[in-house]
A and B are shown apart, each in its own frame.
Chain A
């Protein structure tokens, strides 16, 4: 091993992430090469400097209180004193508390529904995948390449189908993140239009494809089948997107 081969391995070595074979070779090189030995010590010193407790920010008490106050209140044990013993002040205070709760409830109700939020997240994900030029992690027109690629990256196995003959070629796949969980994103194409198909498992009954109101110019269709939830999103028009969904659910091959 020479210095040029050794240097890129030094960080992984210092992090304990180098494989056994690499460790043996690198240690041998470091033993013989003062410059690389110094580089290794430098990384260790830097790691030490970065691990100082003083660099860690702890959550302010105020934040903890804010979070607990917006989470649903835990059920209170029954009051130890009978209600008629409450004095005027207590009653007034609880009146204020009730008003606060009502206000909070009103605020919560004014928020978009979970499904609307999900749709918004899906559209954002779709846009992000196009903007960041990061549509795919695995580029392949072959379902037998795309499907195994997801193995070990997800806790489920998404149905990967190739619809090339039906004019919606599969062009790749990507890991994405929606609603707090990792999901599979299959990427299909129709001419210049990219279709992202998001898939994740859920305890949902089978449901037919239904069109969700378009958001920011993107069409959305969702359905569930065999314990999986599917959301297709694209700038493709609704009719063609529905054709895609029908092709996909018809089985592909």
Chain B
């Protein structure tokens, strides 16, 4: 493909998903500066490898690259002790049947929810973003994150329980003004 055509096609199919790319990068990296770096690097990689794009879901394709770029960046820029090893084995055994407090959407204002999501381990956070904000199916998330569907399900369930506990704690009835 001619360079000009390639650029045009890239601008039409991939760049429209820059918001999604930035959103994911922003949630993963935790601040605007690093998120912009990750999103920019990912967009350039996407352009470089655009020839490999097979015409499947361009948003999923770009977000896969964003995710990859982020983890590469994370390894290079943050000490490994800051990353949490997620043990999906223990998770499977964990009792998810315990009653969790309700989150009244009325009280769950954006700031509180934002804090709660930010407090999740990154492996949980990405699944929540991909599911609730991007609306990907379990299968698509599994492909995107390179983990089995069972892992997607258990991480999502575990993330939601953590969010519920955290949000409910912020809005204990007694704390209401």
Interface, chain A (partner B; CB < 8 A): 3-4, 7-8, 11-12, 15, 17, 35, 38-39, 41-43, 45-52, 54-60, 62-64, 66-67, 70-72, 74-75, 114, 124, 137, 153, 155, 175-177, 179-182
Whether the pair B39, A63 counts as a contact (CB closer than 8 A) is yes
Q: A48-B105, A66-B36 are in contact. Are A59 and B21 (CB under 8 A)?
A: yes
Whether the pair B45, A180 counts as a contact (CB closer than 8 A) is yes
Q: Give me 27 A-to-B residue pairs in the complex whose CB atoms sit less than 8 angstroms apart, sorted by A's number.
A: A7-B97, A11-B157, A15-B156, A39-B99, A41-B102, A46-B160, A46-B163, A48-B105, A49-B108, A49-B167, A50-B113, A52-B110, A56-B23, A56-B133, A58-B19, A58-B22, A60-B36, A63-B22, A63-B36, A71-B47, A74-B7, A74-B8, A114-B48, A177-B146, A180-B45, A180-B53, A181-B49
* A182 partner residues in chain B, CB cutoff 8 A: 143
| Residues 24-64 of B contacting A (Cβ, < 8 Å) | 26-27, 32, 35-36, 39-40, 43-50, 52-54, 56, 61, 64
Whether the pair A180, B46 counts as a contact (CB closer than 8 A) is yes
**Nearest-CB residue, chain A, relative to B15:** A67
Min CB distance B64 to A, Å, is 7
**Nearest-CB residue, chain A, relative to B110:** A54
Whether the pair B18, A42 counts as a contact (CB closer than 8 A) is no
Whether the pair A49, B105 counts as a contact (CB closer than 8 A) is yes
| Contact among A7, A8, A15, A71 for B131, CB-based, below 8 A | A15
**Nearest-CB residue, chain A, relative to B72:** A124
Q: How many angstroms from the CA of A175 to the CA of B46 in the assembled complex?
A: 19
| Contact among B7, B110, B153 for A11, CB-based, below 8 A | B153
Q: How many angstroms from the CA of A67 to the CA of B42 in the assembled complex?
A: 10
Whether the pair B137, A17 counts as a contact (CB closer than 8 A) is yes
Given A45-B103, A67-B40, A180-B53, 14 other A-B residues pairs in contact with their CB atoms under 8 A? A8-B96, A12-B138, A46-B108, A49-B108, A55-B113, A55-B117, A58-B22, A60-B32, A66-B36, A74-B4, A74-B8, A175-B146, A177-B146, A180-B46
* B72 partner residues in chain A, CB cutoff 8 A: 124
| Residues 140-174 of B contacting A (Cβ, < 8 Å) | 143, 146, 148, 153, 156-157, 160, 163-164, 167
Min CB distance A126 to B, Å, is 14
Q: How many angstroms from the CA of A63 to the CA of B29 in the assembled complex?
A: 15
Whether the pair A66, B132 counts as a contact (CB closer than 8 A) is no
